[in-house]
Amino acid sequence: MQKPAQSVTSDMFDGQPSMLPEQQRLTEGAMLLSGFARDTDQQLIAALNDVIVQAPFRHMTTPGGFVMSVAMTNCGQAGWVTDSQGYRYQALDPQSGLTWPAMPKVLSDIATLAALKAGYAHFLPDACLVNCYEPGARMSLHQDKNEQDAAAPIVSVSLGLPAVFLFGSLQRSDRPQRLRLEHGDVVVWGGPARFNFHGVAPLADGYHVVLGRKRINLTFRKAL
């Protein structure tokens, strides 16, 4: 029997993901690398599981007294923390008093490679913030301003359930653009986009074959 005409387009792309736009400039300095981490997902998740055993996910409380809906942990030399004192990077996990787990090479490698592909050579992250979203979790519009090296880009890897990422301009009041980020998508933010406002819309419920009912985002930075 003949195939319905509808399947022609997907047949064209079957087995040829190179036909799809895998690199997309979002704004000056920001590059979406669609599916860049998809082939490495199992290695990334295995490495993450080691990290999470040593430094479990926790919901931090902001200086304003709000418990974050996103659960977090870190690996690398420096970890991002918030508490009644503010927001900062520190070498010790406040929950254990120990240093954060070392950043697994498979994690730093994908960040370095993605940055290179986006035009930032020699990106060596010293901090990896691991954000865990369950349905309903969100991150309100903010700027990342706690890092020492403003010239270094930030690399973000999305795993699990898709999310709507909001990215604005340098002014909070500008209406942000919405971007769907899926399992394996990587975004590199640098240059003029480095201090743009951004956030994540409340995670819609769903089930992902690899991660189940959650989304994990890895954010690689040069914090020190």
CA atoms of 28 and 26, how far apart (whole Å): 7
164-193: contacts with ligand MD3 (CB under 6 A):
167, 189, 193
One of 73, 108, 112, 196 touching ligand MD3 (CB under 6 A): 196
Look-up: residue for tokens 């933010």?
189
| String of contacts with ligand MD3 for each residue 111-130, x by CB under 6 A | ------------------x-
Q: According to the binding rule CB under 6 A, does residue 36 interact with ligand MD3?
A: no
Q: According to the binding rule CB under 5 A, does residue 147 interact with Fe ion?
A: no
- Side-chain-facing half-sphere of 182: CA atoms under 13 Å: 9
One of 37, 48, 131, 132 touching ligand MD3 (CB under 6 A): 131
CA atoms of 11 and 18, how far apart (whole Å): 14
How many positions of this chain bind ligand MD3 (CB under 6 A)?
Answer: 15
One of 194, 203, 220, 223 touching ligand MD3 (CB under 6 A): 194
Q: According to the binding rule CB under 5 A, does residue 144 interact with Fe ion?
A: yes
Cβ of residue 17: shortest distance to ligand MD3, in angstroms? 23
Q: According to the binding rule CB under 6 A, does residue 139 interact with ligand MD3?
A: yes
Q: According to the binding rule CB under 6 A, does residue 220 interact with ligand MD3?
A: no
Residues of this chain that bind ligand MD3 (CB under 6 A): 129, 131, 139, 144, 154, 156, 167, 189, 193-194, 196, 198, 200, 217, 219
